Every structure is written in C-alpha cells, then in structure tokens.
Amino acid sequence: MTNKTLTRALPSRFVIAVTVGGIIGLGILRPLILGMAAVVLAGCASLGPGYDTPTVTVSSFRALPSEGALPSFAIGLRVINPNREALVLQGVAYTISLEGHKLIEGVANDLPVIDGYGEGEFILTASANLFAGIRLITDLMRSDRGGLEYELEAKLDIGGFRSAIRVRESGEISLRPTDDI
C-alpha cells in the first residue's frame, strides 16, 4: 500500500502528519496540541497583572585585598521582593564603568532565594579589566577632575517566562577632600 492509497483509505477527519518519529494521525495529535497550549496558557496566567517588579539597589562597594596584579572588588546588592511567591534568582550579569570605561564585568549563579514579601543581600566578587583601567588612568592624567562618574548595570535572571530584572545605577564619586568634623 503506497502513501497515496493510505491517505485515501482514511476518513477525512484523520489527516496524516509526518514527523521525524513516523506518521501520526491528526486525531491523536489534536489532543496533544490542545494539552500543550493549556499548559503554556496556565504558565502565562501565573505572571498575572498582580506581579510587581522586585527592587534592586547597590548596598556596598569596596576594594578587596589583591592577590594578583589586578584589584578585586566586593559589590553588595540588596533585593526587595514585593510579591507573594519566592524570587528564585537563576543568575546575574553585571558591568561597572568609571568615566565610560567598563572596568568590571562578571556573572554569578550562586544566589539566594528571596522569600515572598522579603528581602535579601548578596555579594558579587569581581576583578578589574586591566586595559580598561589603563585607558581610565590615561584619561585621568589628561584632565583635572573633581570626581568620577560611575555606572552599575546588572541583569538578574529570575527564570521561567518572566523578563529579567535590569538595574542601572549611576552617580559621581568625589575626589575632593572632605572636611571631617
């Protein structure tokens, strides 16, 4: 029996679908597709309009004792979860720039779970980019600055179908002496 003969022998409600695994009748495929669509829609429904974006702020930034030629830094991030369900962080990617030079870039994946209606802190450890540091020093030697512009960008991956949380914080670090009283 050829494929042409097989197709004609089946009732019209059974259309043949050819797959890598073989031939499947649409009568069997239809419930499978509907079931998969129901699962996807149920997942999207859990995102709901009641989901609030967590807040992420920089809680600390300090230099660490250097073990090599490059300085290391500890960057503290504080996360506030305003939602009922726990926030399971899958990973974070971050960049720190001074005067437009990307000095520090890194990733981390050993992050805490932030309970629903809770907050948590974690520390990222990173080393500086040597060539970006040299370019920054060259630029600083060419000008007289009273401060350094900084920018932190971080992307927190919360997994699933939710968008990553993106944080950008910027400001200026003063290089002028302060009057301590």
Q: Is residue 50 part of a domain?
A: no
What is the rounded CA–CA span in Å between residue 120 and residue 81? Answer: 9
76 and 37 housed in the same domain? no
Residue 120 has a pLDDT of 93
Task: Give, in degrees to the nearest 5, the angle at Cα 145 between 62 and 57.
Answer: 35
Q: What is the CATH number of the domain that holds 147?
A: 2.60.40.10
Q: Is residue 181 part of a domain?
A: no
Residue 117 has a pLDDT of 95
- For residue 109, the enclosing domain spans 55-174
The stretches in the chain having pLDDT less than 70 are 1-49, 179-181
Tens digits of residue pLDDT in 139-154: 878 887 778 888 888 8
Rama region for 130: left / alpha / beta (φ>0; ψ in -120 to 50; rest):
alpha
Residue 64 has a pLDDT of 83
129 and 167 housed in the same domain? yes
